[in-house]
Amino acid sequence: MDLGPHAGFIIGAYIVVTAVVAALIVWVAADHAAQKRALADLERRGITRRSAGSRPVQIKEPAE
């Protein structure tokens, strides 16, 4: 494979992009774990989500 006179730039660009994408994957995975720990802590303290209310959702029928 001949990359021509810009081989260094091309290979360097691929290395930088690979490093950035890998860093983003690690960052997202770490943030996901932190959010799960925070949610578990809130649930352990008894704080629940608003969407997990105890009353059933009432659907209103359209007026005719």
How far is the C-alpha of 20 from the C-alpha of 30, rounded, in Å? 15
Q: Is 40 contained in some domain?
A: yes
- Closest to 48 measured CA to CA, from 60, 40, 57, 56: 40
Question: Is 35 part of a structural domain of the chain?
Answer: yes
Please give the Cα distance from 52 to 46 (Å, whole number). Answer: 12
The pLDDT of 37-60, averaged and rounded, is 77
Residue-level pLDDT at 56? 56
Per the CB < 8 A criterion, the answer to whether 26 and 34 are in contact is no
More confident residue, 26 or 64: 26
Q: Would you place residue 3 in the very low, low, confident or very high pLDDT band (cuts 50, 70, 90)? A: confident
The answer to whether position 32 is within a domain reads: yes
Asked if residue 55 belongs to a domain, the reply is no
pTM of the model: 0.64
Query: Among the residues of the chain, which ranges form H helices?
Result: 7-44
- Residue 38 belongs to domain spanning: 4-45
How many domains in the chain?
A: 1
Asked whether residue 9 is domain-assigned, the answer is yes
Are 11 and 3 contacting, i.e. CB atoms less than 8 angstroms apart?
A: yes
Note whether residue 58 is domain-resident: no
